[in-house]
Structures are given as C-alpha cells and as structure tokens.
C-alpha cells in the first residue's frame, strides 16, 4: 500500500494568508510566514528561527502563540516527532477562537493523527475542520479541507470518497497551483491503490510536470516517487529503480524523514527483484534501524519481508524465518 500520509502532510504547507494583518503583530507574523516557507526548503533554518522566537513567546498575544505552536507543530511532524506535534497543536487549539486559524490547526491534526494511525482522532479533527467551513467565506479553506479529506479516505482505501474530495478541490482550485498539484497527486494515488498502474503512472507524471512548472519541488518529488512506485508495481523494475533513486535524492534535500524511510523500503523491494541483494540489504537496513513509530510500521513491515526473501534466496532459511 502506498503511504498517502506523506502527501497529506504537504498540504499543511499552504498556510500563507493565515495571519491577520494587525499592525502590532507585523514583526512576529512576518517571521511566522518566513518559517512556513522555510519548512518547504530548509528545515534546519526553520528550526533555528523557531528556537529564536521561542524565547520571546511571553511577549506574544494568545493569537500569536497559537500560530507559533502551529508552525512548531509543522516542524515536529517533518522530523517525525508526532507526540510532540500533538501536544503543540493541542496548545494552539486552546489559544484561539479564530475560525481560519482553527481550520489550519485541525488540518494538521488530521495529518498527525493519521501518521500515528489514530484514525478516530483523525476523523474527529477532519469533522472539526469541516465545521469551520460555514463560518469562512474564503474558498481557500474549503479547497484545503477537501484535499485533507481526500488524503484521509485514500489512506483508508475509501477511493470513491477520496476521488470525490480531490475532484471538488480541483474544481475550485482557481489557478492555485498547490491545491491543483495536490489534487492531481491524490487522484493518481487512488489509481495506484486500485492497481491501475498505467493510469497512476500517467497521473503522477502529469502532476510532476505541473508541480515543477509552478516551482513546487517537494510536491514534484512526491509525484516522482509515485511514478517509481507505479513502475515497481507493474514490474518494470529497472525504470522503478531510477525513478525512486531520484526521488530519494530529492527527499534528502528536504530532510523529509517519513518519505525517506518509505522510499528506502521501495528501493529495497525493487533491488530484490533485480537480484541486487547487496543494495536491497542496504536500503532495508536503513528502514529497520528506524525507531518503532506507527508512521514507520508499513515501511518496516515491507523491509522485513524483503529481508526474509533475500535470506531465503541465499539459502539462509534460519535467518529468513527470524523476519
């Protein structure tokens, strides 16, 4: 199963326009926007700015504190620190009544709970996010909510609903590249999870071109990995390997831990089928060395299966059975 959480995570990036332009808040809110942009390109610098702002939190208004905890939660999710993210987002939620900001908080909660396989809490957060829509005239929030719901339903294999919400988002994208690119990716994910590999490859390829054209390089990397995954599932292992290697390179630049681990697991499987056992072992080892976190369960399960197959193929049944 292709992990869709990571795609869902990326939609939380779309938080420009989040902050209310109050004169007294300009300095902090400029910094918050800067951090939000840096999360797409330089996680280390984003974290540095977060730490610099943290010592000033006592001087912030409640609204500003809520935004600070939200962007800090984003950083924690990218580092795979999901329990920390849950705590930060809970603090943010308690500090504001602003419907626009609450919608953003609920949206990231959906992602975080999905990453830890807390589906009940994820649905609750999605429901809370939907409840804010009637109070917000901005179509931007509706688009983002539809995208999050598409991610939720894709992860639960409810593909009819996943496609419905991705299509709804695409219909009202209004030339918003982040939304359009994300919706296109989710439609391709739905094809992949329904074993329509030709359609999924085509969908991911078109998404990648669109994302690159609009300089959305992290989303383009997600689409690239989808292309590689589609080739792997259709048994085109040589092309799968090249595409996944390129995706891995892109994820390293963004320090996207969740996707790095999952891509390593796909490369392990690909190299096994190419009889490149040494490479398969190398990629599997990266995956199994990760901490025991719910977000890594699928990747680690796949890596263990690959290791078992390798050792069986090498006549080491006793070791293989350990997996």
User: CA 138: distance to chain centroid?
Assistant: 24
> Residue 268 — left, alpha, or beta (φ > 0 → left; ψ -120 to 50 → alpha)?
alpha
Name which of 6-20, 100-114, 149-163 the model is least confident about. 6-20
**Residues contacting residue 111 through CB under 8 Å, at least 6 positions apart:** 5, 8, 9, 11, 12, 77, 148, 151
pLDDT band at 1 (very low <50, low <70, confident <90, very high): very low
Q: What pLDDT, on a 0 to 100 scale, did the predictor assign at position 158?
A: 82
Q: What pLDDT, on a 0 to 100 scale, did the predictor assign at position 14?
A: 43
Phi, psi (degrees; rounded to nearest 5) at 38:
-65, -25
**Residues contacting residue 228 through CB under 8 Å, at least 6 positions apart:** 239, 240, 241, 242, 243, 244, 246, 247, 266, 270
| C-alpha–C-alpha distance, residues 162 and 113, integer Å | 18
Burial class (CB in 10 A: 0-12, 13-18, 19+), 17: exposed
pLDDT band at 78 (very low <50, low <70, confident <90, very high): confident
Q: What pLDDT, on a 0 to 100 scale, did the predictor assign at position 25?
A: 45
62-80: average pLDDT? 91
Whether the per-residue pLDDT at 219 is higher than 90: the answer is yes
Residue 106 vs residues 78, 163, 171, 225, 229: alpha-carbon distances, Å: 17, 21, 23, 27, 30
pLDDT band at 124 (very low <50, low <70, confident <90, very high): confident
Convert the pLDDT of each residue in 271-284 to its tens digit.
999 999 999 999 99
pTM of the model: 0.70
Whether the per-residue pLDDT at 47 is higher than 70: the answer is yes
| C-alpha–C-alpha distance, residues 200 and 46, integer Å | 34
Q: What pLDDT, on a 0 to 100 scale, did the predictor assign at position 317?
A: 54
Please state, rounded to an integer, the average pLDDT across all residues of the chain: 85
Convert the pLDDT of each residue in 181-216 to its tens digit.
999 999 999 999 999 999 999 999 999 999 999 999
Q: What pLDDT, on a 0 to 100 scale, did the predictor assign at position 318?
A: 54
Q: What pLDDT, on a 0 to 100 scale, did the predictor assign at position 288?
A: 92
| C-alpha–C-alpha distance, residues 138 and 115, integer Å | 28
| C-alpha–C-alpha distance, residues 140 and 152, integer Å | 19
Within 10 angstroms of residue 135's Cβ, the number of other Cβ atoms is: 12
34-54: average pLDDT? 84
Q: What pLDDT, on a 0 to 100 scale, did the predictor assign at position 33?
A: 84
| C-alpha–C-alpha distance, residues 173 and 6, integer Å | 21
Which of 246, 254, 250, 252 minimizes the C-alpha distance to 227?
Answer: 246
Within 10 angstroms of residue 177's Cβ, the number of other Cβ atoms is: 15
Whether the per-residue pLDDT at 64 is higher than 50: the answer is yes
If one compares 306 and 124, the residue with the highest pLDDT of the two is 306
- What are the helix and strand counts (H, E) for the chain? 17, 0
């Amino acid at each position: 199963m292709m992990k869709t959480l990571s795609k869902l995570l990326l939609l939380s990036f779309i938080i420009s326009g989040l902050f209310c332009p109050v004169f007294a808040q300009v300095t902090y809110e400029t910094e918050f926007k800067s951090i939000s942009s840096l999360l797409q390109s330089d996680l280390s610098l984003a974290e540095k700015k977060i730490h610099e702002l943290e010592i000033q939190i006592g001087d912030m208004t409640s609204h500003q504190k809520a935004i600070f905890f939200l962007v800090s939660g984003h950083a924690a999710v990218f580092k795979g620190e999901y329990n920390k993210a849950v705590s930060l987002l809970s603090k943010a939620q308690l500090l504001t009544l602003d419907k626009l900001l609450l919608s953003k908080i609920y949206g990231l909660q959906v992602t975080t709970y999905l990453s830890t396989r807390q589906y009940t809490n994820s649905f609750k957060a999605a429901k809370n996010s939907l409840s804010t829509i009637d109070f917000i005239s901005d179509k931007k929030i509706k688009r983002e909510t539809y995208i999050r719901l598409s991610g939720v339903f894709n992860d639960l294999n409810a593909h009819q609903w996943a496609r419905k919400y991705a299509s709804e988002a695409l219909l009202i994208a209004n030339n918003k590249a982040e939304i359009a690119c994300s919706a296109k990716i989710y439609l391709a994910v739905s094809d992949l999870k329904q074993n329509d590999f030709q359609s999924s490859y085509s969908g991911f390829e078109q998404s990648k071109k669109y994302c690159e054209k609009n300089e959305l390089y992290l989303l383009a990397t997600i689409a690239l990995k989808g292309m590689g995954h589609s080739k792997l599932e259709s048994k085109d292992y040589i092309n799968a390997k090249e595409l996944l290697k390129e995706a891995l390179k892109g994820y390293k630049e963004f320090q996207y831990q969740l996707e790095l681990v999952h891509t390593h697991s796909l490369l392990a499987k690909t190299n096994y089928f190419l009889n490149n056992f040494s490479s398969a072992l190398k990629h599997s080892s990266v995956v199994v060395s990760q901490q025991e976190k719910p977000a890594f369960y699928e990747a680690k399960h796949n890596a263990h299966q690959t290791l078992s197959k390798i050792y069986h193929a090498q006549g080491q049944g006793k070791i293989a059975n350990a997996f």
